[in-house]
Amino acid sequence: MHAKEVPPLAVLVALSALAVLPINMFVPSLPNIAKDLHADFALVNLAVAGYAIAIAVTHLIAGALSDRFGRRPIALVALAIFTIASLGCSLASDIETFLCCRLFQGTVIAGYAVSLAAIRDSADDQTAASRIAYVSSAWAVAPMLGPAMGGLLDAHFGWRANFLVFAMLGIAGLYLVIFHLKETNFHRTTSMGLQLSAYGELSRSARFWTYTFCMAFALGSLYAFLGGAPLVAAQLGGISSTALGFYMGMVPAGFILGSYLVGHASSRYSVTEFILTGRVLTCLGLVVGLLLVASGVTHPLAFFGPCIFVGLGNGLTMPVANARVLSLRPGLAGSASGLAAALTVMGAGVIAFFSGLLVTTSNAHFALLGVMLLSSALSLVAAILITYAEKKSASRPPGHSDCAS
């Protein structure tokens, strides 16, 4: 009988930050990469779009493998591949080599899947929600700081310096896992067939889909904001890049506040209370933004101020929703985490794609708020369905499978 190993929260936060940092830290270097490797900018931009596909696939694979072979081995393999791929990107002399290595960098997202699964292994629902809230904050801070760091590295040392730093961070991650992350999965599955079975069970669970849709539409509103905010700035005019960075940073700051509240109050409020509060606040904030636009207010804060509630609402929603998804099949937490994360990211990506088709420089202020409100409203509908599903589940006799509904 194994005692529960409680992984250090600082290690889990570090692994999660490293998992998300490569998404956009090097983006300021894209023009220089295109010039140095003699490639079209559109082709180099696949380093962003292709990476999104890579991390979605990795979510599915890494979560299932961690249920079969343990959390630490998967984290170690993923970090080793990431480190080697980062070195490959830094040494690439042609665009084909660069893009190939860039895709393999996507394995680092396993650090996030493993972190969530390790939390589920070692904590009950309330404690898991609190710890996931802190881990999720890394997903707000890292993308906020990443481009600034990448821009400085590019300006002083060239674009290859970004990928050398990634390699060094990969080595640091390996050190943390080897010496500070103990194995938490002592009930490993005996075959990969159980993972496929788990995916089948989860796909038949109404609760799994309501939580996943809630997270996908919540994240979709954020993705739409990230893609459309520069167009709003262009429409309003007179906003410097520094000011735009500050205004856009207000949204991740809201996410950090929401996650902090979950971390400190998870024992006093239920999952549905956090989720419903987050979704309602987001919708109300965006409605206020639309009313300000309709009233003719054009100050940047009339747009970016209400958008803070997107971050705040997601900070209240995502940690507890993730914790609940992991509890649907505790013995296969990695598989549940991977499937939910992959579907959430892909769903949010689809929303961002359609947002890009609808939002233009001429209509950005109003259209972007409208798209974000629609996505948030759909997330609120899913949150209401979650409340119904939880009440229905609570009325069932003990021992009834969560994945049967």
Domain residue ranges in the chain: 9-188, 204-404
Euclidean distance between CA atoms 160 and 151, whole angstroms: 12
Distance separating alpha carbons of residues 55 and 180, to the nearest angstrom: 25
Backbone phi and psi for residue 193, each to the nearest 5 degrees, phi listed first = -60, -30
> In angstroms, rounded to a whole number, what is the distance separating the alpha carbons of residues 71 and 180?
13
Which CATH code is given to the segment(s) 204-404?
1.20.1250.20
Q: 112-145 burial by CB neighbour count: b if 16+ within 10 A, else e?
A: bbbbbbbbbbbbebbebbbbbbbbbbbbbbbbbe
Tell me how far CA of residue 321 lies from CA of 224, 282, 316, 383, in angstroms.
Answer: 21, 16, 9, 10
Rounded distance, CA 205 to CA 200, Å?
A: 9
User: Looking at the domain that runs over 9-188, which CATH code has it been given?
Assistant: 1.20.1250.20
d(CA 308, CA 313): 9
Task: Say if CB 246 and CB 343 are below 8 A apart.
Answer: no
Which long-range CB contacts under 8 A does 93-102 form with residues at least 24 apart? 93/37, 94/37, 95/37, 95/38, 95/39, 95/43, 95/44, 98/33, 98/37, 98/47, 99/43, 99/46, 99/47, 99/50, 102/47, 102/50, 102/51
pLDDT value, residue 11: 93
8-state DSSP, 285: H
Going residue by residue through the chain (405 aa), what tens digit of pLDDT does each one get?
Answer: 455 678 899 999 999 889 888 887 887 788 888 889 998 877 887 776 677 778 888 888 888 888 888 999 999 999 999 999 999 999 999 999 999 999 999 999 899 888 888 988 888 777 887 888 888 777 767 776 787 788 888 888 999 999 999 999 999 999 999 999 999 888 777 666 666 677 777 788 888 999 999 999 998 898 888 778 878 888 888 777 667 777 877 888 898 889 888 888 877 888 899 999 999 999 999 999 999 999 988 889 999 999 999 999 999 999 899 888 888 876 677 778 788 888 888 888 788 878 888 888 788 889 999 999 999 999 999 999 999 988 887 766 655 555 545
How would DSSP label each residue in 160-195?
A: HHHHHHHHHHHHHHHHHHHHH------S--SSTHHH
